[in-house]
Structure 1
């Protein structure tokens, strides 16, 4: 009877359904809290570790670069040599209007005396004061969202948000540490292992347990609890002290905007952004090929003409500090096509960066217009192509005299560019004729070369028919319709670009 009474008395302490539910909820809260803390630490690491490389983490204080960069973001700037900044890049410079402050704006043009003119993406006008080349601290290459918000709140004396942050981090720390030990039982003794408890409940089995063993287990559990809580508290300290560290560093001072900023929102991102140059001069379509994967080429022009990749196409990833991503076409089936029928333009510009595969001398079509979205077009012109000798050609269908018949006409470069290096090919056309540029330099022109054949079709990168009425009449036309090599920043503009615009595109780089 005594044994039965003991068993009955012990029963309430044994784990039941209610205890299991409470334990599961407690475990879920602990795991979620720890995950949140370590996510914060990961973002802080992204913001601070580049400092070890000599790069400059900087807290953005205003919205003059919205929507891409918002107040509270931390931007990493990579130092560059004096005079090497490129148009279109976001630069960290000494503020020309306020001593001991910095400015983070985009480099948009030069003054006649060689100084840099900047502009905030959200501003209506260029900054009023140009910047000397030696005042450039670096080029922005990485953005970590939200991490610098406490710095902004301190500058604004927004103590409410700071207090809420402190409470939130403290609560996460407590929640993360709370589940590191089991709930005490029987007057403070730690919970016994499940195996020991099951054995204790098994009839006719005796598990010897001394007071010394119980105390030893209790002390071990307490040490584990203390260790976990100490580590979590230490892990949360950077979240609380980083704002003070960022505020103390001169490179993290406030940024000024030259004009009132437009209203914007925090551009939440699922990844940390590399800050590449913006699309310039309002193209009809612009394929930067920056996507990580998938069959889509996002149109950067804002016209929603997203392209489709097909065939032997390979994406090449880039880095924030080096080359931008690009697309490799296999030379046998790789192509990118625009999504919908468009009218063939009479005034336009086509432009593409390309690099031939070392050892491959065959030419191919780089970028042009055709009446088929896939396969070979029966009508195609207004195209840039690489000849088998490495030259660049540009061709369009013009009237054959006063008749309704058309002929293939074009211009070609005198030089060869199948050298395995990146080159920028640009062609412009208007009623004044056509001009061909390579690497920002005019290499050929023809005032009589105008597009006169009207039809509807698609813009395609890397492949389409090089025949004209079943003959290869284009000047220097390649024997291969596919281009084998790398391409990047394929663009079509609704105007004939000026020589200075083409040169600026080349200077800005990929």
Structure 2
């Protein structure tokens, strides 16, 4: 290659490199300006720190949010910045997905398999997300997480890019001293990182789990037990993870069958699943009514829950009744599909008013340990009681009636055949209007 040809090739390379660096500089400065400009008007700028809102929002994006007034109308489906109900010192940026019957709101990360456990009160809302600036907050995120390798690499590349962007497009003519260029490039890079942090101090974008003491990388995490249950499309799933003073039990199945807590019970007890953080319900003479409206009685069904007790009195675990609110009805009520615990601690299914064709476990389970209970019944009344993932007893059970009613947990109201409320802890209730197979019951137990 001739000297002139080599010089021409070098000139084109120089031109492309300088133009690319100038484009990067312009893009970076534009994104930083967009992220920082709203702060002048009092808006907030929040650096995203997790993947709980993917794919719409990613780590390193900057969310620009407009502060909300006290009379702000919350829009279901929009993204908000709010105080974490379980850790007030932390901010969350999640989507409002439901307005609850009690006036509070249910929130969720788009990438999460379940909604946030604790309801959001309007008083906790700080701002409504309006704009999203991609990537510009990554250096801030790396600095906060002390991820030095990408941070230093970005700084080095940015300084080099700003230096090259300041060069002439041709190789002729004077240029600024190298030291001055380094100082200018460094100042711009540091200024860009500082601008990204404006208004974001103490604000993080974190994923939620059922345990506020843990933070998970949602991109690679799903709550194992919840995931296993949702695979089988439950009629309703109530984790019973609400905090004390809460009146309603959130339905995690996506079917919006909000439950209601009634009677004497305490929320926030230690949960029953070791690898699925959450809390449980401590029951004395209370109940959970699963769903606000009566539903058609299913011919084939499954009842699943976790329980723990040392009680030595007969008690009611779960069943289907036409009565919703009464704790006891002396005149009787339509009630069947009931699973009870005997005074001996054995489990019985099939015993309800005017019916006594039952199956009963040989083993007692009032030993103070957590147990996983699944009762299944087909349309021809072939029933099985599973305990801890294994079939404990099977057989034909009593005839059931066809009436509209409610699934109840913890206490029934079945007239002269009244069974006392279950005394002990209850957790993770799921109802299916279908019959779970033995393999799926075992899969749920394995996911605990």
* 1:93-492 aligned within 5 A: 150=138, 166-169=193-196, 276-277=223-224, 278-279=226-227, 280=229, 281-293=232-244, 294-316=246-268, 324-330=278-284, 332-356=285-309, 358=310, 360-375=311-326, 376=328, 378-395=333-350, 407-432=355-380, 433-446=382-395, 448-449=396-397, 451-466=399-414, 470=416, 472=417, 480-492=419-431
Q: 1:354 touches 1:422 (CA, 8 Å); kept in 2?
A: yes
Q: 2:412 touches 2:419 (CA, 8 Å); kept in 1?
A: no
**What are the superposed Cα offsets for residues 212-264 of structure 1, whole Å, 9 maximum, x if unpaired?**
xxxxxxxxxxxxxxxxxxxxxxxx8x99xxxxxxxxxxxxxxxxxxxxxxxxx
Q: How far 1:314 sits from its partner (Å)?
A: 0.6
User: Structure 2: any 5+ residue segments left out of the alignment?
Assistant: 1-38, 61-109, 112-133, 143-149, 162-188, 217-221
In structure 2, the CA distance between the partners of 1:165 and 1:431, relative to structure 1 (3 Å rule), is farther
Higher strand share: 2
Q: How far 1:483 sits from its partner (Å)?
A: 0.6
CA distance in 1, matches of 2:437, 2:136: 42
The aligned residue for residue 72 of structure 1 is 59
Q: How far 1:409 sits from its partner (Å)?
A: 2.5
Helix, strand or coil at the partner of 2:316: strand
**What are the superposed Cα offsets for residues 13-42 of structure 1, whole Å, 9 maximum, x if unpaired?**
xxxxxxxxxxxxxxxx99x99xx89x98xx
CA distance in 2, matches of 1:379, 1:415: 30
CA distance in 2, matches of 1:363, 1:164: 70
In structure 2, the CA distance between the partners of 1:458 and 1:267, relative to structure 1 (3 Å rule), is farther
Q: How far 1:412 sits from its partner (Å)?
A: 1.0
In structure 2, the CA distance between the partners of 1:462 and 1:273, relative to structure 1 (3 Å rule), is farther
Q: How far 1:167 sits from its partner (Å)?
A: 4.1
In structure 2, the CA distance between the partners of 1:452 and 1:333, relative to structure 1 (3 Å rule), is closer
User: Structure 1: any 5+ residue segments left out of the alignment?
Assistant: 1-28, 45-58, 74-120, 123-145, 174-235, 240-265, 399-405, 473-478
CA distance in 1, matches of 2:402, 2:190: 67
Q: How far 1:440 sits from its partner (Å)?
A: 1.0
Runs of 4+ in 1 over 4 A off after TM superposition: 146-149, 151-160, 162-165, 169-173, 266-275, 317-323
Helix, strand or coil at the partner of 2:366: coil
CA distance in 2, matches of 1:148, 1:335: 47
CA distance in 1, matches of 2:314, 2:58: 48
Q: How far 1:346 sits from its partner (Å)?
A: 0.6
Q: 1:338 touches 1:373 (CA, 8 Å); kept in 2?
A: no
Q: 2:349 touches 2:397 (CA, 8 Å); kept in 1?
A: no
Question: What is the root-mean-square deviation of aligned Cα atoms in Å?
Answer: 4.7
CA distance in 2, matches of 1:338, 1:300: 12
Count of aligned pairs: 280
Higher Cα Rg, which structure: 1
In structure 2, the CA distance between the partners of 1:149 and 1:425, relative to structure 1 (3 Å rule), is farther
CA distance in 2, matches of 1:333, 1:147: 51
Q: How far 1:481 sits from its partner (Å)?
A: 2.1
The aligned residue for residue 433 of structure 2 is 494
CA distance in 2, matches of 1:269, 1:147: 22
